[in-house]
Amino acid sequence: MPDSFPLPVFTGDAPLYDQLYRHIAAAIQSGALSPGSKLPSKRRLCALAGVSMSTVETAYSLLAAEGYVLAKPRSGYVCAHLLPSVSTPPAAAPETAPGSIPAPARWAFDCSTSGVDTSAFPFSSWARITKEAVYENPGLLQRGHPQGDPPLRTALAELLAQYRGVRCAPEQVVVGAGADYLLTLLLQLLPEQETIALEDPGYPAAYTAVSLHQRQAVPIPVDGAGMAPEALEKSGAGLAYLTPSHQFPLGVTMPAGRRSRLLHWAASAPDRWLIEDDYDSEFRYSSRPIPALQGLDRAGRVVYMGTFSRSIAPAIRVAYMILPPELLERYRRTFFHGACTVSRFEQESLRRFLVQGLYGRHLRRTGNLYRKKCALFTEALEEIPGVTISGADAGLHFLVTLPRFSETELVDRAAAKSVGIHPLSRYCHSVEPRPSTVVLGFAGLTEDELSQAAVLLKEAWA
């Protein structure tokens, strides 16, 4: 049977195990795999389909859970006789994301910007902490503080003061399930802000959030010092979202003069606010960290935002924002009835991770990993004649400019070698993208994979 087993063709953005499960379920439903016939062993299917053991295991356990296959002791999985009680056949349409980022499945080397290195994640410490957080805190089952539990907020305020020069009391911290969620919450808090200034090029999710709240996004060009203040002043916007520590995606760090000018803009009229998204400031390689804009703000006009998605892992859905006093008061009038969107057990686990020094150690380890990866990848790519690399001082991605090809050619030639990269134009709205420029993330690939990807890119762009 295994030799005639119909192998799937992986496409789209759905997870591999999900595609594999759907493919086999459809084959059983259609009769291509007949009732009673044996499925390949897990190990064999790994080899046949070129996927990992965990992909196969998840697909098989889904099939078993839904009654498509039966697990027979010592003889593996066999196809079931389908009964009408199998109530949830997989839908025909795969779970693809139109207009979404290149799927990991489609490339041998995925250089999108959303990966992180989880090899250094301290699983055993996290598992221990999680267990202790449940056992030692029965009180955490009840409803917690809407802004997040005070002990976590205290730990966050101390961390941000120490690492980022953020000046705040724990009362000002709002914890939520991801930076995108907190941005949504801020927009609901500021209904009078009808036009919102966003960096161009900039973070796509910020544009999405603004449009989902029926507000007008005003793209403001980014120059070598960050968001251009003249354009912001002319825009009529009262709220500006920016990434001053490491502009996304250009990688520019905003110098002191520009910071003062933007703070002055915010302070010079009522109802003007800056949202400082410090999304990957934890990682700087060739310069000292620059303190947050928030720490320089004397007028109470900056909302500081950060997340653990990159510094710990995307799976940890904890982000935070620091509200200035005026917005804090407004927040409390508006949202104080609600519950915090992060589980209290997870809040307590994270607090323990921070105060027990595990987070600091994890940052040092991953910082060193990323520094090495960034150096390795950029040094290899710099061997390509005519190439310019920028924005590689910090964070988990950089830009590559290679004038002899167009942006589309750069992306297509990389794709032909199975290296997935993003065109810079993906992040541009009104501005013309810098020509012949692409965005490369390196965090999700191993050093070995980065070396291989660099070899392929050198061939692709020769």
- At 48 the three-state DSSP class reads helix
111 touches 440 (CB < 8 A): yes
Q: Which two tokens mark 50?
A: 């070129």
Of these, 6, 257, 338, 385, which contacts its own copies (CB under 8 A)?
A: 338
Under rule CB under 8 A, which residues in 108-167 are in contact with its own copies? 114-116, 118, 121, 123-124, 126-128, 130-131, 134-135, 138-147, 150-151, 154-155, 157-158, 161, 167
208 binds its own copies per the rule CB under 8 A:
yes
Under rule CB under 8 A, which residues in 25-44 are in contact with its own copies? none
Of these, 37, 41, 58, 195, which contacts its own copies (CB under 8 A)?
A: 58
| Between 34 and 100, CB nearer to its own copies | 100
- At 40 the three-state DSSP class reads coil
152 touches 351 (CB < 8 A): yes
Q: Give the angle 455-460-462 at the CA atoms, nearest 5°.
A: 90
Give the rounded distance of the alpha carbon of 427 from its chain centre.
Answer: 15
| Between 43 and 128, CB nearer to its own copies | 128
54 binds its own copies per the rule CB under 8 A:
yes
342 binds its own copies per the rule CB under 8 A:
yes
Of these, 343, 388, 401, 418, which contacts its own copies (CB under 8 A)?
A: 343
| Between 160 and 231, CB nearer to its own copies | 160
| Between 387 and 450, CB nearer to its own copies | 450
192 binds its own copies per the rule CB under 8 A:
no
In 3D space, the residue among 317, 29, 37, 340 whose CA is nearest the CA of residue 177 turns out to be: 317
195 binds its own copies per the rule CB under 8 A:
no
| Between 47 and 141, CB nearer to its own copies | 141
Q: Which two tokens mark 313?
A: 């892992």
In 3D space, the residue among 373, 457, 392, 348 whose CA is nearest the CA of residue 130 turns out to be: 348
Residues 6+ apart with CB under 8 A from 453: 109, 111, 377, 419, 445
Of these, 38, 42, 213, 434, which contacts its own copies (CB under 8 A)?
A: 213
| Between 7 and 161, CB nearer to its own copies | 161
| Between 37 and 114, CB nearer to its own copies | 114
Using the rule CB under 8 A, give the single segment among 93-101, 236-244, 392-400, 402-410 that binds its own copies: 93-101
Using the rule CB under 8 A, give the single segment among 26-34, 176-184, 289-297, 379-387 that binds its own copies: 176-184
Under rule CB under 8 A, which residues in 426-455 are in contact with its own copies? 444
Q: Which two tokens mark 459?
A: 């061939």
How far does the chain reach from its first CA to its final CA, in angstroms?
A: 45
Show the beta-strand stretches assigned E in 189-335.
195-200, 216-223, 226-227, 239-242, 273-277, 302-307, 319-322
The H-assigned helical ranges of 293-393 are: 325-335, 344-355, 358-381
Q: Which two tokens mark 326?
A: 């005026």
Rounded Cα distance between 269 and 259, Å, is: 17
Under rule CB under 8 A, which residues in 293-332 are in contact with its own copies? 309, 313-318, 332
345 binds its own copies per the rule CB under 8 A:
yes
| Between 89 and 291, CB nearer to its own copies | 89
Of these, 29, 37, 61, 235, which contacts its own copies (CB under 8 A)?
A: 61
Residues in contact with its own copies, total (CB under 8 A)? 97
In 3D space, the residue among 283, 285, 303 whose CA is nearest the CA of residue 293 turns out to be: 303
Of these, 1, 7, 71, 169, which contacts its own copies (CB under 8 A)?
A: 169
Rounded Cα distance between 181 and 170, Å, is: 20
Q: In the bound complex, what is the minimum distance in angstroms from residue 260's beta carbon to its own copies?
A: 24
